[in-house]
């Protein structure tokens, strides 16, 4: 589901729908779905921590999604999906800077491989084959960068006993509020009800996918664990490239495929290093007196 989102966004924005308005409608629809889910759970929106929700909404939703929709006007949807796969890499770099992550040789190797992959995407041969300007690719990279900022901020500032769905609802509502006022200040809000039927249906589909995928992902984390669930990084990219190829006849150059392999390997090494770190910690705990 997530893999198909950039292909939908690329088609809709190329039909003249302003990216800011598009982002507002997607976030609002997703928020409405999660509000209904929370209502069925019997949960109430937490009234406190308003500043935290707005920071999460801006860094985790409003800014990255809008930047993605703008960049999709110039770059292939399958490339955008590949760029999104770099979010764990940016998360690692930012977490190192804040002291959240500890150095490990495998993590450094993973970072080196992933950065090499990004450089291959920016090579002149890759750019000319995809007909994608460098500023648009860099704007696309800003999306996973802000996702990473949001992840680290949430990990450091998240209130205790805050359910993930409560957090998601609150940040989506905050993002919708911010996007509404920004859109009104910069230009008129595109009226969804005036859109052509196929465009309106695609916008509703995109928003529904976003809200539903949130619920599926958090259920996966609950029942299978965070480490297993992190593999969506790979599946989203694979399905995104397949859907982009089918929907838009996109063909990525060989250097980009090499870049994808390097980025996948980089994320894999970082995840492996984290797992080894956890195993070492559990072993130490078992060997300590009294355990």
Q: State pLDDT tens for residues 226-266.
A: 556 667 777 888 898 889 888 888 888 898 999 999 998 98
- Encode pLDDT of 42-77 as tens digits: 776 666 788 888 998 999 889 999 999 999 999 999
Listed in order, strand segments (DSSP E) in the chain are none
- Encode pLDDT of 142-153 as tens digits: 999 998 888 888
Angstrom distance (rounded) from CA 140 to CA 144: 8
How many angstroms separate the Cα of 58 from the Cα of each of 78, 170, 173, 253, 273? Answer: 25, 11, 10, 34, 31
How many angstroms separate the Cα of 149 from the Cα of each of 18, 20, 59, 135, 248? Answer: 25, 21, 7, 21, 31
The mean pLDDT value for 134-163 works out to 86
pLDDT band at 283 (very low <50, low <70, confident <90, very high): very low
Residue 34 is predicted with a pLDDT of: 87
**pLDDT exceeds cutoff 60 at 280:** no
Residue 71 is predicted with a pLDDT of: 95
pTM of the model: 0.85
pLDDT band at 168 (very low <50, low <70, confident <90, very high): confident
Are 53 and 171 in contact by the 8 Å Cβ rule? The answer is yes
Residue 151 is predicted with a pLDDT of: 83
Residue 250 is predicted with a pLDDT of: 85
**pLDDT exceeds cutoff 60 at 281:** no
């Amino acid at each position: 589901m997530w893999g198909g989102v950039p292909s939908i966004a690329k088609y809709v924005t190329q039909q003249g729908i302003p990216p800011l308005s598009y982002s507002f409608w997607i976030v609002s629809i997703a928020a409405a779905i999660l509000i209904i889910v929370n209502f069925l759970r019997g949960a109430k929106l937490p009234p406190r921590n308003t500043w935290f929700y707005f920071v999460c909404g801006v860094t985790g939703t409003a800014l990255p999604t809008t930047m993605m929709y703008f960049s999709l006007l110039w770059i292939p949807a399958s490339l955008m999906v590949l760029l999104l796969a770099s979010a764990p890499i940016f998360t690692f770099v930012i977490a190192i800077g804040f002291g959240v992550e500890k150095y490990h040789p495998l993590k450094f190797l993973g970072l080196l491989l992933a950065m090499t992959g990004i450089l291959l995407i920016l090579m002149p041969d890759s750019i000319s084959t995809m007909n994608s300007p460098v500023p648009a690719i860099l704007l696309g990279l800003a999306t996973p960068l802000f996702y990473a900022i949001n992840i680290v901020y949430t990990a450091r500032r998240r209130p205790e006993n805050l359910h993930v769905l409560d957090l998601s609802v609150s940040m989506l509502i905050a993002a919708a509020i911010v996007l509404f006022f920004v859109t009104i200040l910069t230009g008129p809000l595109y009226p969804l009800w005036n859109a052509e039927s196929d465009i309106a249906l695609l916008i509703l589909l995109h928003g529904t996918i976003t809200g539903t995928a949130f619920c599926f992902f958090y259920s996966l984390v609950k029942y299978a664990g965070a480490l297993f669930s992190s593999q969506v990084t790979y599946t989203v990219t694979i399905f995104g490239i397949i859907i982009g190829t089918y929907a838009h006849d996109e063909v990525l150059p060989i250097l980009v495929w090499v870049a994808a392999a390097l980025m996948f390997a980089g994320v894999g090494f970082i995840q492996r290093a984290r797992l080894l770190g956890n195993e070492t910690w559990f072993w130490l705990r078992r060997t300590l007196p009294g355990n």
